[in-house]
Structure 1
Amino acid sequence: MTTTGHGSTTAPRTPELAGLPLIGSLLDLKNDSLAAFLKARRDHGDVVRVTAGPPGARATVHCVFSAEGVQQVLATRAADFRKDNAFYQEIRESFGNGLLTSQDGDYLRQRRLVQPLFTPRGVDGYASAVAAEVTRLTDGWRAAGHDSVDVVHEMAGLALRAVARILFGTDVEAAVGIVERCFPVLGAYVSRRGFAPRKLPRSWPTPGNRRAAAAHEELYAVCDRIIAERRASGAHATGDDLLSRLVAAGGDGADGTSGSDGTNGTGGFDATELREQVLVFLLAGHETTATSMGFALHLLARHPEAQRRAHQELDEVLGGRTPGAADLDALPYLTRVLKEAMRLFPAAPAIGRRAVVATEIDGYPVPAGADVIVAPWVTHRHPRYWDDPERFDPDRFTPEREAARPRYAWFPFGGGPRACIGQHFSMLESVIALAMILQRYELEAIDTHVPLASAITLQAAGPARCRLKPRTAQGA
């Protein structure tokens, strides 16, 4: 029995996932962490301790799987659970201290400056940029005579070009190739180091450190160059891309110098902060959305009746025209398809925090300093909230059924005060892209099973190929 930091209530001992005597659950987590988390919930319940690593280098995490427990961690007691764990520190060192990783005063100031740029009104103007990139992609498929594509791979390219175009405007080509080359190197590096019980200093000249350092330098250099050119030209004063709006946020800051409070002297972002925000938007804005779009298309390709309903809705609502932001509310079935894809394949399958006080979650003790994981991958499959949870069923997301579930039974964008600031943009981009692709094509799955891997985000570890059949109905 344990006394918690929130009163004198005693709590039972937290159940523990069985592992090997010397290394705990290290092999299970290394081989398939998502399966290990599912097993933990199935065998032990909604709060489970998982230990991994040899004595002297053993890590322990408290996994939280119930919607009610997730709400405690992310929302109602969010101040007790911070982004202080090793994984977030590795992201900071590779991608900077932007909105994804910053905390306390830094986070509040960044959020205050960025929030106005991500309101629905601020984001809806980017619909035409998304549509232009989708047209470029599908025109390329037709020109090349493709009769099949790997939809997850293709959506990764689309999402990167879309977010780069929205960020950089006419400078999109300068950034895309470098991001495509450098992000996978840094993502794998962060993942390895974030979960390693022991890691060598980054300064040691190992092959992995040298590859990461080169990718880091190249990525930082292109962002710094584009930002400096934008400021020197004064184009940010009239540009409507996101970088111009970030430069202008909180004041001009054209010289990029910092004031005593760490800002550029006008309350806006200095040059380093601009680069860090840009890198976070590139990271969070393309990998996560690409996962959602790619698996939504693959699921539709595997479920012809759902695809038929989506085609019918698109033909009736759009009649062949290009969708815009105003059409989102008129495409409820396609939106439900997307939400169901995000349930089954959440782009962030596990989210980490660190407890800063001794507390309880769902009645179980969590000591101060403990690492805590909430796992959309598991909660989105919890039989308490989802009947036949592995079945693809977009109608789980009708308004009536959504209202009947706990708020945090579905949380692909996180939640609470650290909820993803770009969730409206992600939904806008995804619905427009899915609509335009489905207007042109019917899809049939070639690969019916796609192996997965979990790094910073959920990744396809194998192909997700679909046959493309040009449509002759409205929108072809």
Structure 2
Amino acid sequence: MAVRAGAEAGGGAGAEVPELEGGSLLGSLLDLKADSLGTYLRARARHGDVVRITAGPPGLRAELYCVFSAEGAQRVLATESANFRKDNPFYQEIRESFGNGLLTSQDEDYLRQRRLVQPLFTRKRVDGYADAVAAETASTLAGWEERGDAVVDVGEQMTHLALRAVARILFGTDVDATVDVVDRCFPVITEYVLRRGYSPANVPRGWPTPGNRRAAAAMEELYAVCDGIISARRDAPDGQGAGGEDLLTLLAAAQSGDDAGFDAAELRDQVLIFLLAGHETTATSLAFALHLLGRHPEEQARAREEVSRVLGDRTPQAADLDRLPYLTQVLKEAMRLYPAAPVIGREAVAATVIDGHTVPAGATVILAPWVTHRHPRYWSDPDRFDPGRFAPEAEAARPRYAWFPFGGGPRACIGQHFSMLESVIALAMVLRAYEFEAVDTEVPVSAGITLRTTGPARCRIRRVRP
């Protein structure tokens, strides 16, 4: 009955979803563990835009219903978003480790949080963070100045830059107290979340296993530094100790109609999610933009010429985003090839027909920007780096969800303007100062909470001579 009702809502009865071939005992579990992104690409190439992948031993087997078309992504994220929830085990593991912030909350919790936080992410408010981004970029460049012509891992460098920038915007003057702890604790917690999120069965978190104890110690240290800053901020007299009007101060003061403000635990949850999503996503975009330009000198020269012509020697401001269209196209193309969120998961509430196939109630639904961004229906020669794909006329000719690095619909990333602001300002300053030549022609990656490099992304840097 549920299938029939859902199918009618989705546009008639659908065909059975084809299954990707896997082993008789474990299905595609080993393939997903070894290379999940490659497995999703292979599934689309063999079976089309809706494919079922099974993984795990009998009795513990998971079924993933993968949707690869732009039209299907729009259905899941936007037009029928109420039917697709963040109820899968992976989101639950993130929730238990990084808190119930905007990324993981649902229903009234999410709506209340969004009402409280939305005024802090208006374009005007976010534009005010441009100076902090420029200051942290200048600090990174000053560190490179001491190296001269050298080889740097742009993945490591951009992660450090993005983390310092988001910590400065969140905490004002309390940057150093946070960055070292995040650098040390985030990898431990992230690896723990991934291992549990993709495992068919887990022991309780409270059991004293080595993995549980390592993760608990990292969470305790991370929570403590955030709680300490929040407590000190709340105890300080108005206008003192905040290092300016940073985001934490604004979050602590947030009110919206009848909504009560955040308590200390809720504040910590928001801070942790902003630290996680706010630095890893931007770092990925910046690192791959630089590495791709390091492999494509003509595009790099064109981007540098635009930056020099528009900015001269002055520090970029928020208003310069609209004046740097080619640099923005470079970033969008880097985000197409290397989306920071390469896989997005949901759970279907009711059965729905997507692209002619019935996805049953309760199904784990996988969207994969990594695959849709390479779909030959929307992208010619999809593995080629071509910023011209994002010229206005080319963008207008594509379906809306052929490119969705920030998700979409009512739960689209609230920080997407901040990410673009930070990325354009940082990339402009870095390209104006340095030339890049890729040392590693390919950078291996895997899907974690965000896209992760599993090898170096090295470039030789040379100071641009006047």
Give the TM interval when normalised to the shorter protein: over 0.9
TM-score, scaled relative to structure 1: 0.95
2:440 partner SS: coil
> Quick check: 1:440 aligned with 2:433?
yes
Q: Contact conserved, 1:156 with 1:286, CA < 8 A, in 2?
A: yes
**Residues 3-36 of structure 1 deviation map (CA, whole Å, 9 limit, x = unaligned):** 3524283211111100011111011101000000
2:51 partner SS: strand
> Using a 3 Å threshold, how does the CA distance of structure 1 residues 4 and 43 change in structure 2: closer, same or farther?
farther
Question: In the TM superposition, what are the counterparts of 1:47-62 in structure 2 within 5 Å?
Answer: 47-62=50-65
Q: Distance in 2 between matches of 1:10 and 1:145?
A: 65
> Quick check: 1:250 aligned with 2:255?
yes
Q: Distance in 1 between matches of 2:301 and 2:148?
A: 24
Question: In the TM superposition, what are the counterparts of 1:7-22 in structure 2 within 5 Å?
Answer: 7=8, 9-22=12-25
Q: Distance in 2 between matches of 1:409 and 1:5?
A: 25
Question: In the TM superposition, what are the counterparts of 1:29-40 in structure 2 within 5 Å?
Answer: 29-40=32-43
Q: Which residue in 1 is equivalent to 2:134?
A: 131
The AA in structure 1 aligned to 2:255 is: G
Q: Contact conserved, 2:149 with 2:463, CA < 8 A, in 1?
A: no
1:5 partner SS: helix
1:412 partner SS: coil
**Residues 229-285 of structure 1 deviation map (CA, whole Å, 9 limit, x = unaligned):** 00000346773100001011118xxxxxxxxxxx9x971111111000000000000
Give the length in aligned residue pairs: 461
The AA in structure 2 aligned to 1:5 is: G
The AA in structure 1 aligned to 2:349 is: V
**Residues 351-375 of structure 1 deviation map (CA, whole Å, 9 limit, x = unaligned):** 0000011111112111111100000
> Quick check: 1:471 aligned with 2:461?
no
1:11 partner SS: coil
Question: In the TM superposition, what are the counterparts of 1:236-247 in structure 2 within 5 Å?
Answer: 239-247=244-252
> Quick check: 1:311 aligned with 2:304?
yes
Which one is further off, 10-19 or 72-81?
10-19
Q: Contact conserved, 1:3 with 1:11, CA < 8 A, in 2?
A: no
Q: Which residue in 1 is equivalent to 2:382?
A: 389
The AA in structure 2 aligned to 1:294 is: A
| Aligned equivalent of 2:351, options 324, 337, 358 | 358
Q: Distance in 2 between matches of 1:19 and 1:232?
A: 58
- Aligned-residue identity in percent: 69
Q: Contact conserved, 2:112 with 2:259, CA < 8 A, in 1?
A: no
**Residues 118-154 of structure 1 deviation map (CA, whole Å, 9 limit, x = unaligned):** 1110100100000000010110111244512100110
Segments of 4+ moved more than 6 angstroms: none
Task: Give structure 1 stretches of 5+ with no counterpart.
Answer: 252-262
Q: Which residue in 1 is equivalent to 2:277?
A: 284
1:372 partner SS: strand
Q: Distance in 2 between matches of 1:40 and 1:400?
A: 31
Task: Give structure 2 stretches of 5+ with no counterpart.
Answer: none
> Quick check: 1:453 aligned with 2:458?
no
Q: Which residue in 2 is equivalent to 1:411?
A: 404
> Quick check: 1:140 aligned with 2:133?
no
Q: Distance in 2 between matches of 1:4 and 1:43?
A: 30
> Quick check: 1:175 aligned with 2:178?
yes
**Residues 325-354 of structure 1 deviation map (CA, whole Å, 9 limit, x = unaligned):** 010000000000000000000001000000
Q: Contact conserved, 1:236 with 1:245, CA < 8 A, in 2?
A: no
The AA in structure 1 aligned to 2:105 is: S
Q: Distance in 2 between matches of 1:274 and 1:121?
A: 23
Bigger relative contact order, structure 1 or 2 (CA pairs below 8 A, ≥6 apart): 2
CA RMSD, 1 decimal: 1.5
- The Cα shift of 1:400 comes to 0.3
Q: Which residue in 1 is equivalent to 2:208?
A: 205
| Aligned equivalent of 1:46, options 24, 45, 49 | 49
Q: Distance in 1 between matches of 2:288 and 2:75?
A: 29
Q: Contact conserved, 1:230 with 1:236, CA < 8 A, in 2?
A: no
Q: Which residue in 1 is equivalent to 2:99?
A: 96
Q: Contact conserved, 2:13 with 2:353, CA < 8 A, in 1?
A: no
Q: Distance in 2 between matches of 1:194 and 1:445?
A: 34
Q: Distance in 2 between matches of 1:119 and 1:417?
A: 16
Q: Contact conserved, 1:236 with 1:244, CA < 8 A, in 2?
A: no
- The Cα shift of 1:410 comes to 0.1
> Using a 3 Å threshold, how does the CA distance of structure 1 residues 472 and 113 change in structure 2: closer, same or farther?
same
Q: Contact conserved, 1:236 with 1:243, CA < 8 A, in 2?
A: no
Q: Distance in 1 between matches of 2:18 and 2:239?
A: 55
TM-score, scaled relative to structure 2: 0.97
